[in-house]
């Protein structure tokens, strides 16, 4: 199954965000550090799997997407890399301000991993765009 339309992609992302928000509220209410860590790992896995299922205009639907390709356009990859990088920096600041926790550390590592994946996607997509221009 591949998602090629903006509406279907938005629906998948909305479901992921809603489930993530509900589980976050649940684990916060239970004060479950382990649950928060597991949720963070599951979120990274879910976002990576979704990036395998989404296809952009002109991208082959049947062929497997290269492991490094997170989006169809370099700009979107670059923006998402910057957003996840900024989130990691903000959370590092919160940790130094005394709000650190094991689940916070895992969140920072997850944000850095996503930032690096999107940055690699940006670099390779931009390189491909320059080579075909």
pTM exceeding the 0.95 threshold for the entire prediction: no
Q: How many residues does the chain have?
A: 133
Q: In terms of Cα–Cα distance, which of 45, 31, 24 is closest to 101?
A: 31
pLDDT at residue 100, rounded to an integer: 87
Tell me if residue 6 falls in helix, strand or coil: helix
pLDDT 10s digits, 8-54: 989 999 998 898 888 888 877 788 888 889 999 999 999 999 999 99
pLDDT at residue 96, rounded to an integer: 92
pLDDT at residue 58, rounded to an integer: 85
**Three-state secondary structure readout of 64-127:** CCCCCCCCCCHHHHHHHHHHHHHHHHHHHHHHHHHHCCHHHHHHHHHHHHHHHHHHHHHHHHHH
Q: Which phi and psi angles does 122 have, rounded to 5°?
A: -60, -50
DSSP codes of every residue in 9-68: HHHHHHHHHHHHHHHHHHHHHHT-HHHHHHHHHHHHHHHHHHHHHB--TTS-SSSPPPTT
- State the average pLDDT over residues 121-125: 97
At 132, the pLDDT band (50, 70, 90 cuts) reads confident
Domain locations in the chain? Answer: 6-132
Token couple for 26: 């649940």
């Amino acid at each position: 199954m591949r998602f090629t339309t903006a509406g279907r992609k938005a629906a998948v992302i909305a479901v992921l965000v809603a489930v993530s928000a509900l589980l976050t509220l649940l684990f916060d209410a239970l004060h479950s550090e382990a649950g928060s860590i597991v949720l963070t790992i599951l979120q990274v896995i879910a976002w990576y799997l979704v990036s395998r299922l989404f296809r952009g205009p002109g991208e082959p639907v049947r062929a497997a997407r290269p492991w490094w390709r997170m989006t169809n356009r370099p700009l979107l990859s670059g923006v998402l890399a910057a957003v996840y990088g900024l989130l990691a920096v903000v959370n590092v600041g919160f940790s130094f301000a005394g709000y650190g926790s094991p689940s916070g550390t895992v969140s920072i590592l997850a944000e850095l991993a996503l930032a690096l994946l999107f940055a690699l996607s940006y670099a390779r997509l931009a390189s491909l765009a320059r080579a075909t221009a």
